[in-house]
Amino acid sequence: MERPRLRLPERVRAGDVVPVRALLMHPMESGLRLGPDGGRVPRRIVYRIACSFEGEPLLVMDLEPGIAANPYVEFAFLARRSGTLTVVYTEDGGAETAVEAFIEVEA
């Protein structure tokens, strides 16, 4: 899998709503498409995106074959303390790729 891209503000104030944006370039092959030879192109999707903050789960998404290529996720959370945000992508077959970013929260 390619390297995911993650963007969040470097520094916020405690209690701020933090926008998180994450992109993974991935074909999200649905398994329903016919290839040039007329045969089915095998399914290969990212079926889970798990996001944690300092090891504590923040968000888990289960993705279906209907999701388009290059899944892009945007969400927000409430920042109370500084720490590392980690996003883990899991694709069919169990392969994983992760990306993380540190955010500093000022009191």
Closest distance of CB 14 from another protein, Å = 25
Structure tokens at 29: 């092959």
Alpha-carbon gap, residue 74 to 21, rounded angstroms: 5
* Closer residue to another protein (CB): 7 or 80: 7
Residue indicated by tokens 């290529």: 69
Closest distance of CB 81 from another protein, Å = 25
* Closer residue to another protein (CB): 15 or 19: 19
| Residue 84: Cβ within 10 Å count | 12
Interacting residue ranges for another protein, rule: CB under 8 A: 5-7, 21, 23, 25, 27, 36, 69-70, 72
* Closer residue to another protein (CB): 72 or 84: 72
Alpha-carbon gap, residue 82 to 54, rounded angstroms: 9
